[in-house]
Amino acid sequence: MLLADVNETFWFPPKASTFAQETDSFFMAIMWISTFFFVLIVGVMLYFMTQYRRRPGYRGDSRALHNNALEITWTVIPTIIVIWIFARGVYGYMDMVRPPAETIDINVTARKWDWSFQYPNGAISDTLHVPVNKAVRLRMRSVDVLHSFFVPAFRAKTDLVPGRVTTMWFEPIQEGIYDLFCTEYCGDQHSEMIKRQGVFVTSYDEYEQWLAEAAKPPTHPVAHGYWLYARRGCKSCHSVEPDRRIVGPSFAKSYGESLTTSTGESVVFDENYIRESILNPQAKAREGYQNASQMPSYQGQLTEDELMAITAFLQAMKQDDFISVVADEDGLTKEDAISLGFGDEEDSAETAEAGAQEETAEGDGTRPESEEASGEATSPDAEQDQ
Ligand code: HEC
Ligand SMILES: [Cu+2]
């Protein structure tokens, strides 16, 4: 990203937050102090080693035990330097732990092995979107183990601790796309939590636009179900490809099948089983999975509508063409959704009518002028819906 390259140096990522300048110059100060003393001490040591090495006919003088002036100097000067480092460190730390009064608050949930971000208007995403030049405060929770949120370009890092809410804040000062890391080893797929280009800093207008868009789930229940699957962490444990087991079973093609639980019971993978599995994962586990399920309960986190949408999505997984599309690495793009006959209602109507409209384009009196001019081919049906 061009913008982000602007103040990137050979050693450091771009200075994209208000902390960056201070952190970097302090780091450089400590590095040069250390370099200076390293060269001085090792230099003097090497000099003494050669100058006063043991030689035939040379005897050391054991009377030279003290030199007060020298000892006071090499005690006082380093003490002052260390106190200065400490004081400046405390000052920087206090700045980082005390958010300003006005902040945009975003909730962060970390789980093995994914992030999800929840915005003030309810939008949820797996990447972080923030406006430039506004202070942002993150309220962070982990549903399982220790994770650590780190955006090198912001020079900001804080742990997420299970059973506790931790907070951090930063103020981005440069638009761009940055990397997000989990810097606390959290299990065998820890590296999945590295989100290259996972942090988007945009102008406030673009941020608002994105927010409004992101808060709108698709209207079609199957698309809505997939939308939730991709945003609520299900994706990090359940694949949609047949036979690919991540932490939990694959979602491909299970609906309606009869399966055996770990206690030997037989259950049908239906609405009720799905509901129970999501709200109370401990109740039944499929054969081959531990009784103490690794799945967190979603009780109180998903509404009845959302459960319905997820069920519709799981049900749709039975169809072969659906699986092949969703199994595609990018997941369900808008185009995919439309070609399968769902997605935004207007959009699917648009595709369905597209052919017909080409032929009647000129003489179609039902479409208002303005839309013809802007090139928006909204179908008459979709208009009536609105
Ligand atoms: C931390 C990993 C994890 C996450 C996140 C997770 N699950 Fe699970 N899930 C599991 C495991 C492990 C099982 C198998 C054991 C069991 O049934 O409890 C499972 C089982 C299930 C089952 C029963 C499937 C079967 O074939 O028996 C359903 C349905 C389900 N999960 C839905 C979801 C949905 C929907 C979400 C997101 C809202 C989700 N899970 C998030 C790990 C996870
Ligand atoms: Cu992690």
End-to-end distance of the chain based on CA atoms, in angstroms?
A: 39
Q: Is the model's pLDDT at 324 over the cut of 60?
A: no
Ligand 1 atom 14: residue of nearest CA = 248
Ligand 1 atom 26: residue of nearest CA = 249
Residue 296, pLDDT score: 85
| Ligand lying closest to the C-alpha of residue 113 | 2
CB-ligand 1 contact for 235 (6 Å cutoff): no
Cβ contact 312:328 at 8 Å:
no
**Exposed/middle/buried for residue 170 (C-beta within 10 Å: 0-12, 13-18, 19+):** buried
- Averaged pLDDT for residues 145-171: 95
Of 105, 110, 91, 81, whose CA–CA distance to 19 is shortest? 91
Decide yes or no: CATH 2.60.40.420 for domain 1-53+99-216.
yes
Q: Where are the domains of the chain?
A: 1-53+99-216, 221-339
Cβ contact 318:255 at 8 Å:
yes
| Ligand lying closest to the C-alpha of residue 278 | 1
Residue 216, pLDDT score: 78
CB-ligand 1 contact for 285 (6 Å cutoff): yes
CB-ligand 1 contact for 281 (6 Å cutoff): yes
CB-ligand 1 contact for 237 (6 Å cutoff): yes
Residue 351, pLDDT score: 40
Cβ contact 239:251 at 8 Å:
yes
pLDDT: is 86 or 290 the higher one? 86
Written as one string, the DSSP assignment of 317-351 is TTSHHHHHHHHSTT---HHHHHHTT-SSHHHHHHH
pLDDT: is 286 or 162 the higher one? 162
Mapped onto helix, strand or coil, the DSSP state of residue 6 is: coil
CB-ligand 1 contact for 234 (6 Å cutoff): yes
Buried b (16+ CB within 10 A) or exposed e, 210-240: bbeebeebbebbbbbbbbbbbbbbbbbbbbb
pLDDT (tens digit per residue) in 12-39:
899 999 999 999 999 999 999 999 999 9
Residue 349, pLDDT score: 40
- Averaged pLDDT for residues 139-151: 94
CB-ligand 1 contact for 119 (6 Å cutoff): no
- Averaged pLDDT for residues 183-205: 92
CA dihedral 217, 223, 225, 227 (to 10 degrees): -50
- 118, 257, 277, 280: residue to mutate for ligand 1 pocket, most atoms within 8 A of CB: 277
Residue 325, pLDDT score: 57
At 170, is the pLDDT very low, low, confident or very high (cuts 50, 70, 90)? Answer: very high
What is the Cα–Cα distance from 342 to 344, expressed in whole angstroms?
7
What is the Cα–Cα distance from 67 to 168, expressed in whole angstroms?
50
Ligand 1 atom 11: residue of nearest CA = 248
pLDDT (tens digit per residue) in 209-257:
888 888 777 777 887 888 888 878 888 888 887 778 888 888 887 888 8
Q: Is the model's pLDDT at 334 over the cut of 70?
A: no
CATH tag for 221-339 (out of 1.20.1740.10, 1.10.3470.10, 1.10.760.10, 3.10.129.10): 1.10.760.10
At 365, is the pLDDT very low, low, confident or very high (cuts 50, 70, 90)? Answer: very low
Ligand 1 atom 15: residue of nearest CA = 285
How many residues comprise the chain?
386
Q: Is the model's pLDDT at 205 over the cut of 90?
A: yes
227's CB contacts (< 8 A; 6+ apart) are 217, 218, 309
Ligand 1 atom 39: residue of nearest CA = 234
pLDDT (tens digit per residue) in 36-77:
999 999 999 999 999 888 888 777 777 778 889 999 999 999
The reported pTM is 0.62
Residue 117, pLDDT score: 92
Locate the ligand 1 atom nearest the alpha carbon of residue 114 and give its number: 5
- 113, 114, 237: residue to mutate for ligand 1 pocket, most atoms within 8 A of CB: 237
Cβ contact 81:33 at 8 Å:
yes
At 352, is the pLDDT very low, low, confident or very high (cuts 50, 70, 90)? Answer: very low
Residue 253, pLDDT score: 79
What is the Cα–Cα distance from 219 to 97, expressed in whole angstroms?
41
| Ligand lying closest to the C-alpha of residue 140 | 2
